[in-house]
A and B are shown apart, each in its own frame.
Chain A
Amino acid sequence: MTVTASASDARSRPIQVWLLVWAAALAAVLVVFLLQDRLPWAVNYPASAVVPVADWVSALMRWIKSNLSWLTRSITAVLGVPLDFALNLLAKNFKIGHGADAYVLPRLSWVGVCAAAFLAGHAVGGRKLSLLVGGCFLYIALFGQWTSAMLTLALISIAVPFCIVTGLFAGIWAWRKPWAERLIVSPALDLMQTIPTFAYLIPMLLLFGNSPVSAMIATAIFATPPMVRATMLGLSRVPSEIDDFSEMAGCTARQKLWRVLLPSARPTLMVGVNQVIMLALNMVIIASMIGAGGLGYDVLLALRALKVGEAMEAGLAIVALAIALDRLSQAIAHKQAKGHVHQEISPSLWRRYPNLTLAIAILVVTTLLGLFVPAFAAVPKAITFTTAPLWKAAVNWVTINFFDTIEAFRVALILNVLNPLRAFCEGFPWLGAVFLLGLAGYQLSGLRLAVLVAALTAFCAVTGLWEKTMATVYLCGISAFIACLIGIPIGLMASRSDRFEKIVTPIIDTLQVLPSFCFIIPVVMLFRVGDVTAMIATIAFAVVPAIRYTNHGIRQVPPALIEAAKVSGCTPRQTFFRVQLPLALPEIMLGVNQTILMALAMIIICAMVGTRDLGQEVFIALSKADSGRGIVAGLAIAFIGIVADRLFSAWTAKARARLG
């Protein structure tokens, strides 16, 4: 008895101390806020003290541009070769020679590509998948998006192998050298994944010009991290016995890596490949702003001209392409994970790979036919149809009939929720934020985290971006908050009902593969541009991890513990609140963390629909090709993400440690 009493004493005391500390800290910040007439420098960072980091970066980029142009030009030339080949093969036709007497080799026939898609689905996932994948391609063809979609696909098909190879080698390096992982690879990956996609585009635009090559490089940089992570994870997960076996078989270091460890890690690597493909698609769409062309460009043009119907149609084509690529690569990964099935070895290629040979044959035949029959070369206008007028009519109908309701909702939201919050955030003293976040870091993990968090927060103020940073935090915060408010209950319901889970899973799977662009289109139609649109699109985009992690967290509670709870006489309610929920809390917090990061990424893209925050800053910099301004704003966004991520991770780690 005395032992437990003293133990609980010891545990409760530090918590009370922290309560006092926090009360004092908040009071201090309040005092600073109230005294802002006396201490203006503590609330708004003085303009005279802004460190011109942006100018330095611009100068550096200018120097690189003028001194290393031979390098960037040769990179463009080298990468341009395979890229042009892929673009010509899938979308453009090969032109040999110039002018009128140029000899034209046709691109792959759309009929052949659709057939190949059917067969690929059939080969890895059976009839259901073949119908889905083939259907998606057919949809793209029939809705008149063929050339744009193939441009996008060509870019992806060149960028993805590049990402996979780079990611694989970086992952192997990091796995072999723990110091490299700790000092170089991990921080680099964190930065690469939290810097907003737009910010990548600016230096690429400067160095490589407005061309598909710079879009491809930006895509490759953005999409590589998951491959690095998957490689590190896969290699570290290979059972130690397999490692021992390779030693005992007398493998050299190289044989061990390439013939034992990497093949054993293949299922995990394939998950990485799937993620690389999806990220590459996402980025190629965004990179349409710097010359990638393709579907993203169509959406961008249509959105700029407020042609909602066309935007919606191109957006749906992106969705179709995303679903096809995702399901196909997932099926391949799944097949790898399930392992091989023996089959009789037959000598002929045709027998061993019937789908592949058939696909190649059809591609060749239809492409050759395309030389004589135009219907094979290009999708005939007669069989395509467009739904653009339909979408436009639908939007018109909604606007005419529900304009008042929607407008009232929008205005009420802005006046009562968004504007006050925004005012609060933008007026928040920067010194107070640095101090409070540092304190949180110290409580959760220690001095190192405190210094990191405080330094990153201070960066946002010192570069003169404090107000915009806080505008971003406000919009991101409220969107993530609402996303959690929606997502966690849905996740809880899904965890308690298999039927509900079956309905929810395909929806969130689909939401997750959609490029972020696609979320903006329908919302813009209804709410026009502004903060409300950004918020709603962000919620839709960021709700997925909250649902997924909550569901998974509750479901992974060991059945033995639930049985133990039942045997001790818990009602279902008690079991849920006293056993499942506490045990699932770390996982749920991880979901919240992911939701915040995804919300942040989306908020930035929403700059396209007229938010006034760091995203807008990057967006303006992009249109002016002002690299310093864009990169500093991009870093500020990344630092918001890193601060949130580190604090949440530390909190989750603490909760995990408590549960043991």
Chain B
Amino acid sequence: MTDKTEQGSIGAGTPHDVRPVKLACRNVWKLFGSNAASFIRERDGKASMADVTAAGLVGAVRAVDLEIRQGEIFIIMGLSGSGKSTLVRCMSRLVEPSHGKVEFEGNDLLKISDAALIELRRHRMGMVFQNFALLPHLNVLENIAFPLSIQGQDRPTREARAREVIELVGLRGREHFYPRELSGGQQQRVGIARSLATKPEIWFLDEPFSALDPLIRREMQDELMRLQTMLHKTIVFITHDFDEAIRLADRIAIMKDGEVIQIGTPEELVVNPATDYVAEFTRDVDRAKVISARSLMRACDGSEHGGTVAAEAKISSFSASIVSANKPFAVVNGTGKPIGEVTPQAVIDLLAGIDRSRAGA
């Protein structure tokens, strides 16, 4: 079995918009209540919140359109009850959507047979759960090898693969421990290893770190980033923690009441929040870590430059040096060509603005 993403030519460096779409939702609805499917079909996939409520239905996911590109970390962020868990379950068909299309590499997932779905889940999808969902009667090794044994792999093959991923997530020496003997962080490492054992192409992480305490959560986020730089999976990550989303995301979709209200990079959300609701989330964000030189640059006015920065570099990465140099820095694109400059004053304003808004809060 070859792993396309691990060996594919498309790496982390490719800009997001030119990567192929891996998974797409096209006007996906999930309504709960009697006759939910016929309700939305009769309205041709269009209904307002008021219509849904008036029909006595609950709109868990409403008119969601999004495209997840190969190799990106796509985060679905929303508070509890916003429908994010239901949405991710629609994407893997754990929950059958009431209406719409879920396309996996262009094929409608909702139309494939049960056998094809099982095959797809066995080899191409992986999922990590909030409360780990480890099987209590199996030890670490058996838990991780479980998805492989379901596929009918023999014991030596599957255990060899399980040991590989155990090594990968740093659990060596714990192979024969049972889930209840492990800490929460270790249990989630098992969950991660188990979902990676089948070398999936798309990786669903449903609030994987929400049940962990803050220090461990930070450690696990770093761990995830480390794994992603090695594996380049397509990741759909659910969280209710905006800081976590900012830290990990290539792009974020913000959900409220079953609807996606904005999709964008962390920087886009911070710079151009679509609604007050989004703005409320971004208010306390450390802007210097999110905003890049490109957003802050202006056209060169001919003054002397104290250094150069890449257009994608975050402000926090050069704020100290630009302030101490007290001269504008040239902003260069990927080929090294200057495209503008950033002034120390702009950086100071940005940093100060954060401080002022914090003082006001």
Residues of A within 8 A of B (CB): 239, 241-242, 244-245, 247-252, 255, 259-260, 263-264, 266, 338-345
Contacts and interface: CB of A to CB of B under 8 A. Distances in A.
Interface in B40-87: none
Interface centre among B133, B136, B178, by most chain A C-beta atoms within 10 angstroms, is B133
16 contacts: A241-B129, A241-B130, A241-B132, A241-B133, A242-B135, A245-B127, A248-B204, A249-B147, A249-B198, A250-B119, A251-B150, A263-B137, A264-B136, A266-B137, A339-B181, A340-B139
Contacts of B198: 249
Nearest to B195: A248
Which of the four size classes fits the interface of chain B? 35 or more
Contacts of B121: 247-250
B345 interface: no
A344 B118 CA distance: 35
B133 A244 contact: yes
B340 interface: no
Interface in B177-210: 177-181, 195, 198, 204
Interface in B218-270: none
Interface centre among B125, B138, B150, B151, by most chain A C-beta atoms within 10 angstroms, is B150
Contacts, number: 80
B134 to A, nearest CB: 8
A245 B178 contact: no
B133 A263 contact: no
Contacts of A248: 92, 94, 121, 125-127, 195, 204
Given A248-B127, A341-B178, A345-B176, A264 B92 contact: no
A73 to B, nearest CB: 42
Given A245-B129, A248-B126, A251-B118, 8 more contacts: A248-B195, A252-B118, A338-B180, A339-B180, A339-B181, A340-B139, A342-B176, A345-B176
Contacts of B135: 242, 260, 263-264
A244 B92 CA distance: 10
A342 B177 contact: yes
A264 B146 CA distance: 14
A266 B178 CA distance: 15
A341 B137 CA distance: 10
A658 B133 CA distance: 35
B89 interface: yes
Contacts of B125: 248
Contacts of A345: 176
Contacts of A340: 136-137, 139, 178, 180
Nearest to B178: A340
Contact of A250 (B130, B139, B147, B181): B147
Interface centre among A260, A263, A340, A341, by most chain B C-beta atoms within 10 angstroms, is A340
Contacts of A247: 92, 94, 121
A373 to B, nearest CB: 44
B37 to A, nearest CB: 20
Contacts of A342: 139, 176-178, 181
A266 to B, nearest CB: 6
A244 B129 contact: yes
A653 to B, nearest CB: 24
A266 B138 CA distance: 12
Contacts of A264: 135-137
Contact of A244 (B119, B122, B127, B179): B127
Contacts of B177: 342
B90 to A, nearest CB: 13
Contacts of B92: 247-248
Given A244-B89, A255-B150, A249 B137 contact: no
A339 B179 contact: yes
A247 B176 CA distance: 25
B308 interface: no
A337 to B, nearest CB: 9
Interface string B265-308: 00000000000000000000000000000000000000000000
A339 B132 CA distance: 16
B131 interface: yes
B141 to A, nearest CB: 10
Contact of B94 (A244, A266, A341): A244
8 closest A-B pairs by beta carbon, nearest first, are A250-B122, A241-B133, A249-B147, A250-B121, A342-B176, A245-B133, A248-B127, A340-B178
